[in-house]
Amino acid sequence: MISVVVVGSGNVATHLIQAFSQVDTICLKQVYTRNLDDLETFKITIPVTNSLDLLEEADVTIIAVSDDAISEVSSQIQNSFVVHTSGNTGMQQLRNSTRKGVFYPLQSFSKEKPVDFHHIPFCLEVENSKDMAMLEILANALGGSIYHISSDQRKNIHVAAVFANNFTNHMYQMAKDICDTHQIPFDILQPLIEETADKVKRLSPKDAQTGPAIRKDEKTIKNHLNLLDSSQKELYKHLTESIQKHGKKL
């Protein structure tokens, strides 16, 4: 049985705490939070502290605090093996003097939204290779998929995720704006949104690319531009150009 301490009470910490406490093979020993009120909604009974000096030792101590606070918080921890959960932060930004690692779940979390950890990719990294097995057991216990990812790769995954998540969501937002302006229900686009996401499971995005930009269908592009307001137009042009340049590069 692997013992775990979780440091933090935000989006990621909340879901990890909930998930670990439902798994028999993991012992969630303690949770640290700056503000004890944050954990009041929990129906489960886990020892909680608001002092890092009172942190109990565990096989794995998971720091799930804001990126900016990882170095400072880790510098105050004496536990034997400390990992953070950030996509964006090198392993060496941990400042504990003991063993270090990374346990980064590649998904978008918010407190309100239930999370199913099944198939969530965990990007794992360790300083000492013998610690990897322990992180793999944790990820497996939650039902996640395991990837061995270096700090350098992880930073790049984080940028890739900005395209695949934040920027994609902005495309949906642009689409919704157009629908709203013309009294079209946004849900009319939902099957297309799903199909677009589904397609890249089987086809590479390059092969899945369709539409006026890749076809160089200037007539349709011009018609579309005429329908858009100035900021929509600007973005449409940049994206069309980027698709066409990309087509050339390959």
Ligand X SMILES: NC(=O)c1ccc[n+]([C@@H]2O[C@H](COP(=O)([O-])OP(=O)(O)OC[C@H]3O[C@@H](n4cnc5c(N)ncnc54)[C@H](OP(=O)(O)O)[C@@H]3O)[C@@H](O)[C@H]2O)c1
Handedness of CA 191, 194, 200, 206 (dihedral sign): positive
Of 49, 71, 98, 153, the one binding a second copy by CB under 8 A: 153
What is the C-alpha separation between 90 and 94, in angstroms, rounded?
8
CA angle 58, 125, 4 (to 5 degrees): 15
| Furthest CA-CA distance within the chain | 68
**Identity of the residue, 219 or 249, whose beta carbon is nearer to ligand X in the bound complex:** 219
Categorise residue 183: left if φ over 0, alpha if ψ from -120 to 50, beta otherwise: left
Q: Which residue, 44 or 176, has its beta carbon nearer to a second copy? A: 176
Residue number with CB closer to ligand X (61 or 85)? 85
Cβ closest to ligand X, residue 206 vs residue 238: 206
Question: Please, which of residues 170-189 interact with a second copy by CB under 8 A?
Answer: 170-176, 178-179, 181-189
- What is the nearest approach in angstroms of ligand X to the Cβ of residue 185? 18
Residue 64 touches which member of a second copy, ligand X, none, C-beta under 5-8 Å by kind: ligand X
Among 41, 43, 45, 201, indicate the residue that binds a second copy (CB under 8 A).
Answer: 201
Burial of 198 (0-12, 13-18, 19+ CB in 10 A): exposed
Question: Contacts with ligand X in 91-130 (CB under 6 A)?
Answer: 104-105, 108-109
Query: What region does 47 belong to: left with phi over 0, alpha with psi -120 to 50, or beta?
Result: beta
Q: Where does this chain bind ligand X (CB under 6 A)?
A: 8-13, 33-35, 38, 64-67, 69, 72-73, 85-88, 104-105, 108-109
